[in-house]
Amino acid sequence: MHLLKYFEKIEDPRNTNHRNYRHKLTDILALTLLATLSGADDWEEIQTFGEANEEWLKEHFDFSNGIPSHDTLSRVFQLLNPQHLQTAFQQWIQSICEHKKDFISIDGKTLRHSYDKGGERGAIHMISAWSSRNQMVFGQIKTAEKSNEITAIPELLKMLDLTDCIISIDAMGCQTAIAETIIKGKGDYVLAIKGNQKGLYEQIEDFFEIAEQGSYKGIDHNHQIDSPNKDHGRIEERRYTLCPLPDYFTHVKHWKGLSGIGRVERVRHIKGETTKEVSYYILSFYQDIQQFAKSVRSHWQIENSLHWSLDMAFREDDSRIRKDNSPENMAIIRHMTLNMLKNEKTYKQGIKAKRKRAAWDKEFRLKALFSGSK
């Protein structure tokens, strides 16, 4: 079933009996989705897209009362419950994606211009789940006012099917409650650890420093070295080390499933200068070094494949949509369209080029809209 069918289940926040009610919610959502797919980034541009394509839109939708104004679009998205839009997104993505044995990365992004100065509300922060296997967003959630990622991540994880998946999260998400949520969801975790878990971090750091000095003699371990990655004059080498959790470690009794500790060393050579960076991880497994390495590499994708695309192709950081529920709802719309464009495989170009193609080519627009539908 394609996404537009799931839109039909979303509750209209307006009084549909009011004399000013003129446009169906499904038409408004379809217009916003198609306009965003085709390069529109704000309410005025969405209205302009609709007016320029009104005849074509009426072939596929109602629009018997014409194209909604930008004020109508803004007002509806301010009122629309983001949880209802999120549910439609979730049902759609579950219908088109393969979920088993996936690497899922969790990370957050602040929508920099989504603050509402008049409403005394700061910029919203969205937490997203990125599927390495499907190269798509699997879900998203906004952090609550005066809260942070620590409370939002477990709620996002509960929305997802984690069975047989490996979940990677940066140090902010290295929390006992988050590890427990993943294990209860029948998944595994690779959590970056830093000073926010000071006691355990120091034990891991000391363990690996001593092990490195002794070349891991007598220590159960696995190594993997990636082939050097060459990009724009930069050469990066990565070495992964995975060990079972030492018996003598303290600070571990509250960590569900904790079985292994990992070390990643990145050595970069740029214009004759060499730098080294070392990161540490806690894991719910300790034998499969390839899974560890792939999880870490997959987590780096979320910056390039998701956050970079949202900023460069959708200009998300420049968006001035900020009233009430609008910024969260539009973040979900952007994720929907990004997934559609990534899932459309016939046109071998980047996301920005695909948005332009959708604006110019009606057939491609429909192909992207229904990509992956069953």
Domains defined for the chain, CATH in brackets:
3-80+344-369 (no CATH), 94-311 (3.90.350)
Q: Distance between CA atoms of 40 and 314, rounded to whole angstroms? A: 9
Tens-digit pLDDT profile for residues 109-165 = 776 555 555 555 566 788 899 999 999 999 888 876 545 778 889 999 999 999 999
- Written as one letter, the residue type at 24 is K
* Euclidean distance between CA atoms 331 and 141, whole angstroms: 10
CA separation for the pair 221, 246 (Å, rounded): 11
Distance CA 293, CA 222 (A): 11
Q: Percentage helix, strand, coil, to 5, in the chain?
A: 45, 20, 35
CB burial of residue 227 (10 Å; 0-12, 13-18, 19+)? exposed
Instruction: List the chain pLDDT tens, one digit each, 374 residues.
Output: 578 889 999 999 998 888 888 999 999 999 999 999 999 999 999 999 999 999 999 999 999 999 999 999 999 999 999 999 999 999 999 888 877 789 999 988 776 555 555 555 566 788 899 999 999 999 888 876 545 778 889 999 999 999 999 999 999 899 999 999 999 999 999 999 998 899 999 999 999 999 999 999 999 999 999 877 766 667 889 999 999 999 999 989 999 999 999 999 999 888 778 899 999 999 999 999 999 999 999 998 887 788 888 888 888 777 777 788 998 999 999 999 999 999 888 888 999 999 999 999 999 999 999 876 65
- Residue 177 is predicted with a pLDDT of 94
Q: What are phi and psi of 18, to 5 degrees?
A: -70, 145
Taken in order 40, 41, 44, 46, the sign of the CA dihedral is positive
With beta carbons less than 8 A apart as the criterion, state whether 73 and 98 touch: no
Chain-centre distance of CA 114, in angstroms?
A: 18
Q: What was the pLDDT predicted at 341?
A: 93
Residues ≥6 apart with Cβ < 8 Å to 290: 224
- In this predicted structure, what is the pLDDT of residue 40? 95
